[in-house]
Amino acid sequence: MRYLTAGESHGPQLTAIIEGLPSGLTLTEENINADLARRQKGYGRGRRMQIEKDRVQITGGVRHGYTLGSPVALIVENKDWTHWTNIMGIEPLEEEQSEIKRKVTRPRPGHADLIGGIKYGHRDLRNVLERSSARETTVRVAAGAVAKTLLKELGIEVASHVLEIGGVRANTPNYSTLKELKERTEQSPVRCFDETAEKAMMEAIDQAKENGDSIGGIVEVIVEGMPPGVGSYVHYDRKLDAKIAAAIMSINAFKGVEFGLGFEMARIPGSRVHDEIVWSEEEGYSRKTNRLGGFEGGMTTGMPIIVRGVMKPIPTLYKPLQSVDIDTKEPFTASIERSDSCAVPAASVVAEAAVAWELAAALVDQFNGDRLGTLVQAVKEQKEYGRLF
């Protein structure tokens, strides 16, 4: 199963085409829209989020509410397009209209502008920034919502929350069910379980904004219900934890990934890292702890998956950083019209989608994924096989 996306940030629309989704899955626009709305929320976002009201349209692969097994096409319109039809027009410009182009020649440090220009030979850096923009994560979240719909049918739940913003670290969330974690997180403007930290995070965002600066943070994704043995140890490109790490790293501004205890493992002995194995009739094999975050040898252990990603501070700053105009080669300090000052809460929804996608794709590829019914049966059998093994 795979998907591709197309579309520019201020172009007419974003598109995703999903290939390989099983037939027989109930899919509604409402379901996907709920996740699009979650991605738009979050304290610290800029004015663009007030313009957009992201809604998906399913334009292929679904009939009377069910997937057909054919490619599923999803589109989301950019409302801002109406303000950008001249600058982002598809048709060639007449000679006398060339001033409409309003070339971008001033690359922002930390964004794709300069290097993307060098790579594709664009001397108008708008040609780079329009596609490198995290606006594209809208349709990644739409594809992730489809993946989550499939996972739900297989008894697998995915949640995400914010652990850290601008150096404010939340306590490890204390919840008995993922539902409880989700309910609390959805109410929080920064998608944080810990109310004390939530307040401090919002203050840190206010402070960054006031200083014309930006801040990053850490998000965590938790998955329950995966059967054991998904992924493989036999080849580097079949290790599922590696695929998840790549999916998280592919989110704009993400710079690191860890599973379970993560980088902390460098500081503690093996006896306090590895998860001891136990067996019971009811649960089959399980672990007293889950410090490895649900993976051994690139395969799911059947324990919850716990993966974190770190997002750097947003590169577009109101407080100017030095850069060089590519036409004049003169130094300049940027002036900015609008930007997010912190997008970590939104990014946690994107991370959730990225992880959900990799898990759904791995299940469809490993088991019989043509029809929903056979996939449900195969996953059930895998759980049972793992229990009695």
Ligand X SMILES: Cc1cc2nc3c(=O)[nH]c(=O)nc-3n(C[C@H](O)[C@H](O)[C@H](O)COP(=O)(O)O)c2cc1C
Structure tokens at 81: 């397009």
How far apart, in whole angstroms, are the C-alpha atoms of residue 58 and residue 176?
A: 36
Contacts with 195 (C-beta within 8 Å, 6 or more apart), sequence order:
188
253 is in an annotated binding site: yes
**Contacted by 9, from ligand X, ligand EPS, none: CB < 5 to 8 Å by type:** ligand EPS
How far apart, in whole angstroms, are the C-alpha atoms of residue 236 and residue 233?
A: 7
- Give SS3 for 331: strand
Nearest to 104, CA basis, from 255, 327, 292: 327
Q: Could you tell me the end-to-end alpha-carbon distance of the chain, in angstroms, rounded to an integer?
A: 29
Q: x/- contact string, 126-165, with ligand EPS (CB under 6 A)?
A: -------xxx--x---------------------------
Q: x/- contact string, 242-281, with ligand EPS (CB under 6 A)?
A: ----------x-----------------------------
* CB closer to ligand X out of 205 and 350: 350
Nearest to 382, CA basis, from 285, 294, 289, 305: 285
313 is in an annotated binding site: yes
Check binding of 230 to ligand X (CB under 6 A). no
* CB closer to ligand EPS out of 157 and 340: 340
Q: x/- contact string, 170-209, with ligand EPS (CB under 6 A)?
A: ----------------------------------------
Check binding of 252 to ligand X (CB under 6 A). yes
316 is in an annotated binding site: yes
Check binding of 133 to ligand X (CB under 6 A). yes
Minimal CB distance residue for ligand EPS:
48
- Using the CB atoms, write b or e for 194-210: b if 16+ within 10 Å: beebbebbbebbeebbe
DSSP secondary-structure letter at 322?
A: E
How far apart, in whole angstroms, are the C-alpha atoms of residue 137 and residue 14?
A: 10
**Contacted by 135, from ligand X, ligand EPS, none: CB < 5 to 8 Å by type:** ligand EPS
Structure tokens at 189: 């403007």
34 is in an annotated binding site: no
How far apart, in whole angstroms, are the C-alpha atoms of residue 32 and residue 51?
A: 19
Check binding of 382 to ligand EPS (CB under 6 A). no
Other residues' Cβ atoms within 10 Å of the Cβ of residue 323: 18
Task: Work out which of 340, 342, 349, 375 binds ligand EPS, going by CB under 6 A.
Answer: 340
304 is in an annotated binding site: no
Binding stretches for ligand EPS (CB under 6 A)? 9, 46, 48, 52, 133-135, 138, 252, 338-340
Annotated binding site for NADP(+): 39, 45
Residues that bind ligand X (CB under 6 A): 46, 110-112, 132-134, 137, 251-253, 312, 314-316, 339-340, 343, 346-347, 350
